[in-house]
Each structure stands twice: as structure tokens, then as C-alpha cells.
A and B are shown apart, each in its own frame.
Chain A
Amino acid sequence: MALVVLAFDLLLAAALIWLAWQATRAADLFHAVVSFIVFGLLMALAWVRLEAPDVALAEAAIGAGATGALLLSALDRLARRPRRHAPLYEPGTAWGFWLPAGSALLAMLTLAAWNLPAPGLGNEILASLSASGVEHAVTAVLLNFRALDTLLEIGVLLLAAVVIWALGQAPPPLVPSMPSPALPALGRLLFPIFVLVAAYLLWRGSHGPGGAFPAGAVFGAGGILMLLAGARPWIRSSEHGPWRLILSLGMAVLLAAGVAGTLSGQDFFQYPKGTAASFILVLEVAAGLSIALLIFALYLRGKPREHGSWGAAE
């Protein structure tokens, strides 16, 4: 049995290296992007093998799913006319440098891993888990012990959306050359399931792998699917609807939670005793909603248009 597991690991590692090679070196950009998406999916398997199911969920939903959608839509707009006869790489890319450098890095990493004291905060987490308000260690770290990191992370995501919107208006949605009746039907059929799965993941985060990040990513992916299926987003920049509010909701609520701790005479992000569980629940819902809409906003690749201008020819 151990042999089978080892063989599986070796196969997985070999496939990952091959796909990474394809993603960086394939002559065809489409090929490279697809290799990268498959790389992300196999990476999710590797995370499971490394006993990191939370990371696996996030990688599958965000790393492979959302990033893949972003890359493919960008590719479709960029690479209509492939460059011909242009060398993709510098000729003779200095293997004399890269091979020794790679081997040296490998040796150093191995040495470091053998000599490093195991970081092992596991015991500390287990000791304080009961005080954190949730039963799942990763959620506890994300939204209690290191909530500051999560706050800044949502800040970065918000900043990314702001930068993309600042770059100009969203390009009009792609119109398929041969519309399929199946896609809108699929969108209508699956969107409730997307919502359900997102809610399930959010709820599960308190006691198992799951939580706001995969939930937000799944919800956002549902939105992207609806967009692909031809639904027009209900967000119009002129209407100042709940759109901007929800985008910044996660950031605002996290910040409020942090400041509330400070104001009540405790440390930043120190929740009042006994209320941590409800605090985390509120934070998770707010962060999940924000992440979903932020990922959707990233996919729009620009500020949503004024009311009614979606169908206008450019």
C-alpha cells in the first residue's frame, strides 16, 4: 500500500513539473494557459496529499478556477493574431547558469529542511482553540489569531478591484459566434447550486475545511458563469446600488471588528470574551460576500458601464 502511495506521489510530482514546463515554455499561448489550469488542479491534489485540505479547496476554486477564467478571457482578447516567426525565448537560455543554480537551490532547500527546527505552532493552536470560538484550526488562525492578515488581504483584493476599475470601462461581454442553448440553461440550473455550495462551505468553515475564502470563490465563479451565459450584471455604475457597499463590506466589517476591540480597551482584534464565535460568524459572512463580488469584479476587467450601454456597438 505504501508503495502505491509513493508511486502516486511520484506520478503527481512528475506531472506537476511537466505541466509547469509546458505552462512556461509551450509555443502556443493557449496551450500554456490550459497547462497552467491543469497545473492548478493537480496542485489541489498535492495539497490534499500534504494534509492541507483548506489550501486544496482554495487552490481548486481560486487558483485553478477563477485565475483560469481570468487568463482565458484575457487570452481571447489578446491573442487573436498570433505572432509569427518571432522567437519566444532568447536563443540558448544559459543552461550553464540555470542547471547549477537549480541544483544548488535544491541542495540548500533540502539542507534547510533537515536543519530547521520544526516551526510547530500546532500545540499552541490546539491549546487556545477552545477560546477562539470555532473548532477548525485554520479558521481560528484566519479570523481570530491572525485576523489582521485577513483584513490586509481583503484590502489588497479591494485595491486590485479599484485599480482595475480605474483603468477604464469594462469591455463589452463576449458574444459567442454560435450561441448554444445549453449554456444559459446551465447557468440558470447551476446558479442556485453555486449559492448552496457557497453557503455550505461558509457554514462548514467553523468546524472543518471550508470557510469564507472557498465560499467566496465558488460564489464568484457562479457569477462569472452567469456572465458567460449571457446574463447582464445588475450592477450599473450609475445606480450606486448595493454593489459598492458589498464590495467594501468585508473590509469595513473586519476593520470595525478590529477597532471595536481597541475601543473597548483591549488589543486590536481582540474579541470580547465569549463572543468570539458570533464575531467570527459575522466576519465570515461579510468577508465571503465581499470576496465573491471582488472576484467577480476582477473578472469584469473594468468599471461596469453606465446603464443601458451594454449592448451598444463600439
Chain B
Amino acid sequence: MSALEWIGSLLVFAGIPFIFLGTLGLLRFPDVYTRLHALAKSDNVGLGLVCIGLGVQSGSVALLLKLVLIWVLMLIASATAAGLIARTALARGLRPWGT
């Protein structure tokens, strides 16, 4: 395996725990706000690492840029979606946990 492939695999494996912990938070946290908190942050970091890792592994700059573009779009979409879900929940009268 070349150095690029090693770095790529390393990045992908570094991303997996973030996604795993994000999912764990989604399943175990008590209410919708804390779940969003867990998911929106750690999943985005995990996805970014996986995307960059795969891009580095492919060894092609065009592919790397496309994957990074996907990541950026995901960031925008997930931030907006998380905000919308939280606002809707608040508008329906769900109190944040512990208040």
C-alpha cells in the first residue's frame, strides 16, 4: 500500500468513532434537543474525515474535491435541518430536558 492509501485509511478509521458516538447519542440521549446536539456535530466531523479519507485514497484531486463538496453541502443541510427540527419542537411546546 502506498503512503496515500495509508493516510486515507487512517482518516476513514478516524472518522468512524465520531459517527458511532453520534449514533450512540441519538439512541441514548433523553430528548430531541440533546439528540440533535449529538448528531449534528459528531456526524459532520465523522463524515468529513471519511470523505477526505476516501478522496485521499482515490489519489485523484477531482474526486477529492467532489467529496469535499458533498461534505460542505451536507454541513449546510444538516445545520439547517437541525435548526428547523429544534424550532419545530420548541414551537410545539417541547421543553428541553432538565428545564
Q: Are chains A and B touching directly in their complex (CB below 8 angstroms)?
A: yes
Contacts of A189 in B (CB 8 A): 76
A-B contact pairs, 18 of them (CB 8 A): A176-B87, A176-B88, A177-B91, A177-B92, A178-B87, A178-B88, A178-B90, A178-B91, A180-B84, A180-B87, A182-B79, A182-B80, A182-B83, A183-B84, A186-B76, A186-B77, A190-B73, A190-B76
A282 within 8 Å of B (CB atoms): no
Q: Shortest distance in angstroms between A227's beta carbon and chain B's nearest beta carbon? A: 15
Q: B58-99 interface mask toward A, CB cutoff 8 Å, 1 = contact, 0 = none?
A: 000000000000000100110110011001101110000000
Q: How far is the CA of A189 from the CA of B75 in the complex (A)?
A: 13
Q: Is the CB of A180 within 8 A of B83?
A: yes
Interface size in chain B (residues, C-beta < 8 A):
12
Q: Is the CB of A193 within 8 A of B87?
A: no
Contacts of A182 in B (CB 8 A): 79-80, 83-84
* A interface residues, Cβ below 8 angstroms from B: 176-178, 180, 182-183, 186, 189-190, 193
Q: How far is the CA of A178 from the CA of B83 in the complex (A)?
A: 11
Contacts of A186 in B (CB 8 A): 76-77, 80
Q: How far is the CA of A124 from the CA of B83 in the complex (A)?
A: 52
Q: Shortest distance in angstroms between B16's beta carbon and chain A's nearest beta carbon? A: 14
Question: Number of A-B pairs whose CB atoms are under 8 Å?
Answer: 28
Minimum CB distance partner of A187 in chain B: B80
Supply 9 further A-B pairs (C-beta < 8 A) apart from A178-B87, A180-B84, A182-B80.
Answer: A176-B84, A177-B91, A178-B88, A178-B90, A180-B80, A182-B79, A182-B83, A183-B84, A186-B76
Q: How far is the CA of A190 from the CA of B77 in the complex (A)?
A: 9
Contacts of B73 in A (CB 8 A): 190, 193
Contacts of B87 in A (CB 8 A): 176, 178, 180
Q: Is the CB of A177 within 8 A of B76?
A: no
Minimum CB distance partner of B89 in chain A: A178
Q: How far is the CA of A193 from the CA of B70 in the complex (A)?
A: 11
Q: Shortest distance in angstroms between B62's beta carbon and chain A's nearest beta carbon? A: 13
Contact of B88 among A177, A190, A193 (CB under 8 A): A177
Contacts of A190 in B (CB 8 A): 73, 76
Q: How far is the CA of A178 from the CA of B87 in the complex (A)?
A: 6
Q: Shortest distance in angstroms between A68's beta carbon and chain B's nearest beta carbon? A: 13
Contacts of A176 in B (CB 8 A): 84, 87-88, 91
Which 6 pairs of residues, A with B, have the shortest CB-CB distance?
Answer: A178-B91, A177-B91, A186-B80, A178-B87, A182-B80, A182-B83
Minimum CB distance partner of B92 in chain A: A177
**Which residues of B from 25 to 74 have beta carbons under 8 Å from A?**
73
Q: Is the CB of A183 within 8 A of B91?
A: no
Q: How far is the CA of A190 from the CA of B84 in the complex (A)?
A: 16
Q: How far is the CA of A182 from the CA of B90 in the complex (A)?
A: 16
Contacts of A178 in B (CB 8 A): 87-88, 90-91
